[in-house]
Every structure is written in structure tokens, then in C-alpha cells.
Amino acid sequence: MVKQFVELLKEKRIFRWNRKSVDTKALAILIYQTGLSYRKTKKILNLLENLSHESVRKWYKKCKGLFDVKRRARRAVAVDETKVKIENNQIYIWNAIDVDD
């Protein structure tokens, strides 16, 4: 998946300058897209290469359009909640299903 995303970034020529590798930029963008903050993404990637959270923010801002999802109206969504006990910890798991599909 990362290789495909790197190829997409190169194909669309989103980044003009590459002081950091396109692979690093792609990885940062994908990690941020999963829900981590810019600073947490920076901490993870600092294991590979030194960068700032501001760099991650700028890179994501340039690629934000690639992640636009076409919204559509739905009649209903079925949501189920389950409580699971793992080693004396109770964890809640939610599952949502589009009823129209």
C-alpha cells in the first residue's frame, strides 16, 4: 500500500522539492491519516529520519485532496456494541454496517 501511495505521489508530482524522501512523506501522511496527531506521527518517524510536526502538517495539507471520500445519503446504519473482557479489563467494541449495501 505504501509503495502504491508513493507512486501516486510521484505520478501527480505533488511535492516539488524532496529534501526528505517521498517514501518518508508518504509514510507520514498515511500514519497521520490513521488518526494519530501530527506530533505523535513525528515521534514515530523520528526513529527513521529527523523531521518536525509542522513538516507532517504541510505534507498532509498538500495531499488532503487524495483522501476525499464521496459522501452519499443513507437510509440507515446498523450499529452493534459488544463488551469484551480481556485480562480483567473491559473493552467496548462497536461495529457499524451500512444496511443499504
Whole-model pTM: value is 0.65
Banded pLDDT at 6 (limits 50, 70, 90): confident
* Residue ranges with strand state E in the chain: 77-86, 89-98
Residue range 51-86, pLDDT digits in tens: 999 999 999 999 888 887 777 788 888 999 999 999
Res 67: pLDDT: 80
Banded pLDDT at 16 (limits 50, 70, 90): confident
CB atoms within 10 A of CB 56: 25
- pLDDT-above-90 percentage for the chain: 55
> Residue 32 in contact with residue 56, Cβ under 8 Å?
yes
Cα separation, 80 vs 50, whole angstroms? 42
